[in-house]
Amino acid sequence: MWGIATLLATGVAAVVLTRARFVYSVTLGVTTLTLVAALATLLAPGAESTLVLPIGLPWLGAHFRLDALAAFFLIVVNLGGATASLFGLGYGSHEEAPGRVLPFFPAFLAGMNLVVVAADAFTFLFAWEFMSLSSWALVMAHHRRPGNAAAGYLYLVMASLGTLALILALGLLAGPDGGYAFEAMRSDPPTATIAAVVLVLALVGAGSKAGLVPLHVWLPLAHPAAPSHVSALMSGVMTKVAVYGFVRIVFDLAGPPEWWWGALVPLIGGITAVLGVLYALMEHDLKRLLAYHTVENIGIIFIGLGLALAFGANDMPGAAALALTAALLHVFNHSVFKSLLFFGAGAVLVSTGERDMERLGGLIHRMPLTAFAFLVGSAAISALPPFNGFVSEWLTFQAILLSPSLPQWLLKFLVPAIGALLALSAALAAACFVKAFGITFLGRPRTPVASDALETDRWSLTAMFALAALCLLAGILPGYFIDALAPVIHGLTGANLPRQNELDWLTIVPIEQSRSSYNGLLLFFFIVLAAGLGAEAIHRLASARTRRSPAWDCGFPDPSPATQYTSGSFSQPIRRVFGTVVFRASEEVHMPPPGDARAARLHVRLHDVPWDALYVPVAKIVGFAADRLNRVQFLTIRGYLTLVFSALVLLLMVLAVWQ
């Protein structure tokens, strides 16, 4: 609590001071302390604490509660917050309008912390809105750049929609007696119908913040518009706070799940995962690519959550524990590597001023350390062993493989299909990050800004390398991380995975040894050993000489960097395979006639199908209604009096009929 108060005070102080170093140092200190405190709570069994403050609703007060689930998400929030502050120490000095960023940054952190510890509906919603608005202010920090104002507007609309859904959901849970404290909701679970409505509302409310398709549209516009360390927080952390909201409402407050919840949620998750990564592949703005890719990972997390619901509804707590562990581990992992990747994109942005990959290239020669950290993040997010992304996706696969024991036929058929979607999205993610890393950092520089780039500052590098180390650590020692999650899982599903760090060689075994096991440490060790042996043998036996020469390129190397593969050409095969269906992509070639020296042009048109099918009609209806209602603004005084009078009569009649 003190931490949050300090963060708020820092925000207020920052309005006056606007000294970047001071603000980021304080946020760094506070988030680190909160991180340590949350870690201690999670690891010490039964260390719950509650707090009631006499603010908020007068008859209720503000309830706060720190249980295992809250502690876990506090770790995610504050780890992201601490590294973002560290990155900000360096990155913030390049900020052109620090007065627009500094006050809101600590406020945003405070808002996210507050959501996680809130224990009554009013405090929760207040904190949720506070988080939304402070992040909106950060999105609008550079409001003069083209597109940012529109992004901020869309964000505001979607955030309002999400909060509306959450207000209704929590209102239904509170019931007519107004038991707004979470404790009261928990002791009085709703009926099945109400619980179903609550699930849908939670999907809309938390899903719109997390970026579930089709509510994702604001996310790839708003996240990249903010300064990079804030983008990292929004993508890496705020979406996780949304996941927290969903878990808290659906797993903790809405009572026992129905089996069809477990069909609906993973299906949405699977579709979100595949569409998210396909959108990301079509993108050539580095930060927007990362934002779209967040949508994919949210999909993977919701697959895990949905499976946990399916298993939980069928009274299979062990399997539910596995699925929930997979989902929550992915929450942690994604917050780590997504922050890392956004920091990398921020470092590129600072040193080149470019976000467009088509204008970058060859940065590995100029920014070797950033490139290395970004490479680790790319491998981790592509779910490649021995990094951490693979562990959580592997656990999700193991949960999917338990589906035959589900009694419902729909689930039996649906879950393998969702497994196929998950596999597809994992493979496409690798393609996406070969593109993101390869086009940005490898090859030859495409513009002068790329060839003159300079390595970024030490603060930013420290933040990136700390996260990169965590990616590897969580990948080779996953047992410790799974064990740390045990109290959270036990609290929500009533079961646990076998304890992992008592097994030989730090292997992880979700169910039993003969069924499946994975050992990241051994794999890492073997890869290093085999590569080392190979290198040693080769350098002893083979010619060790290396000559430098121009590239071979089948005999026709072209000095112009425009002859390289670009981001658009890299994704062209995938666009042809998937894009014609998913994006209704069309290509137009304008070829000048022979003898004409004009350049040929290729136009690619992609349609955002959810946008066209869902948002455009709604916007049209709203516009139409607004046009019609506009007339009401310009009535005569007689007209207004008639209107008021008839409205009154109508309401009275309704009242009369009602009773």
Partner 1 sequence: MAVVLEALVQFCQMLVVLALAPLLAGYVRKVKALLVGRRGPPLVQPYRDLAKLLRKDVVLAHTASWVFRVAPYLVFAATWVAAALVPTFATGLLFSYAADMIAIVALLGSARFMLALAGLDVGTSFGGIGSSREMMIASLAEPAMLMVVFTLSLLAGSTQLSSIAAFMQTPDVGLRVSLALALVGLVMVAIAENARIPVDNPATHLELTMVHEAMILEYSGRHLALIETASFVKLLLYVSVIGCVFAPWGIAVSGEGFAAYLAGLAAYLAKLTVAGTVLAVFETAIAKMRVFRVSDFLGAALMLGLLAALLRFVSRVT
Binding to partner 1 in span 488-517, by CB under 8 A: 505, 507, 513-517
Shortest gap between Cβ of 502 and partner 1 (angstroms)? 15
Of the ranges 147-155, 335-343, 437-445, 631-639, which one interacts with partner 1 (CB under 8 A)? Answer: 437-445
Note whether 383 binds partner 1 by CB under 8 A: yes
* Residue closer to partner 1 (CB basis): 404 or 595: 404
Cα(562)–Cα(463) distance, rounded to whole angstroms?
34
Stretch that binds partner 1, among 250-258, 424-432, 601-609, 624-632 (CB under 8 A): 424-432
Q: What gap in Å lies between CA 147 and CA 34, rounded to an integer? A: 36
Tell me if 397 contacts partner 1 by CB under 8 A. Answer: yes
Size of the site for partner 1 (CB under 8 A): 89
Q: Does 585 bind partner 1 (CB under 8 A)?
A: no
**Residue 60 is which amino acid?**
L
Question: Is 282 near partner 1 (CB under 8 A)?
Answer: no
Using CB under 8 A as the binding rule, whether residue 543 contacts partner 1 is answered as yes
Q: Is 50 in the site for partner 1 (CB under 8 A)?
A: no
Quick one: which of 396, 395, 409 has its CA closest to 314?
A: 409
Map residue 323 onto helix, strand or coil: helix
Q: Does 565 sit near partner 1 (CB under 8 A)? A: yes
**C-beta of 574: minimal distance to partner 1 in Å?**
5
**Closest distance to partner 1 from the beta carbon of 368 (Å):** 8
Q: Residue 581 interacts with partner 1 (CB under 8 A)?
A: no
> Of 276 and 419, which CB lies nearer to partner 1 in the complex structure?
419
Contact 49, 113 (CB under 8 A): no
Q: Which of 55, 577, 621, 652 binds partner 1 (CB under 8 A)?
A: 577
How many C-beta atoms surround the C-beta of residue 528 within 10 A? 11
Contact 224, 355 (CB under 8 A): yes
Q: For partner 1, which residue of 61, 318, 438, 610 counts as binding (CB under 8 A)?
A: 438
- The reply on whether position 49 binds partner 1 by CB under 8 A is no
What distance in Å separates the CA atoms of residue 69 and residue 85, rounded to the nearest whole number? 24
Among the listed ranges 204-212, 234-242, 380-388, 589-597, the one in contact with partner 1 (CB under 8 A) is 380-388
SS (H, E, C) 183-227: HHHHHCCCCHHHHHHHHHHHHHHHHHHHCCCCCCCCHHHHHHHCC
351 lies in the site for partner 1, by CB under 8 A:
no
Query: What pairs with residue 120 in β-bridges?
Result: 181
Residue 44 CB, nearest distance to partner 1 (Å)?
32
Query: What three-state secondary structure class fits 596?
Result: coil
Q: Does residue 541 belong to the site contacting partner 1 (CB under 8 A)?
A: yes
Q: Is 362 in the site for partner 1 (CB under 8 A)?
A: yes
Q: Which two tokens stand for residue 289?
A: 């690519």
Q: CB of residue 236 vs partner 1: minimum separation in angstroms?
A: 22
Q: With contacts defined by CB under 8 A, name the span among 14-22, 214-222, 529-537, 644-652 that binds partner 1.
A: 529-537
Select from 142, 145, 118 the least CA-distant residue to 231.
142
Nearest to residue 567, comparing CAs of 453, 437, 447, 451?
A: 437
Pick from 398, 460, 493, 500 the residue near partner 1 by CB under 8 A: 398
User: Side chain identity at 74, as an amino acid letter?
Assistant: L
Provide the minimum distance between the beta carbon of 365 and partner 1 in the complex, in angstroms, as a whole number. Answer: 6
Contact between 308 and partner 1 per CB under 8 A: no
Give me the least distance between CB of 390 and partner 1, in Å please: 6
Residue type at 418? I
> What SS3 class is residue 366?
helix
* 3-state SS class at 636: coil
Q: Does 238 bind partner 1 (CB under 8 A)?
A: no
Task: Report the run of H or E that residue 62 belongs to, with start and end.
Answer: strand 62-66
Residues 74-93 that bind partner 1 (CB under 8 A): none
Residue identified by tokens 């109508």 is 650
| Residue 454 interacting with partner 1 (CB under 8 A) | no
Whether the Cβ atoms of residue 370 and residue 414 lie closer than 8 Å to each other: no
Residue 658 in the binding site for partner 1 (CB under 8 A): no
In the bound state with partner 1, the residue whose beta carbon lies nearer, of 246 and 518, is 518
Separation CA 131–CA 296 (nearest Å): 23
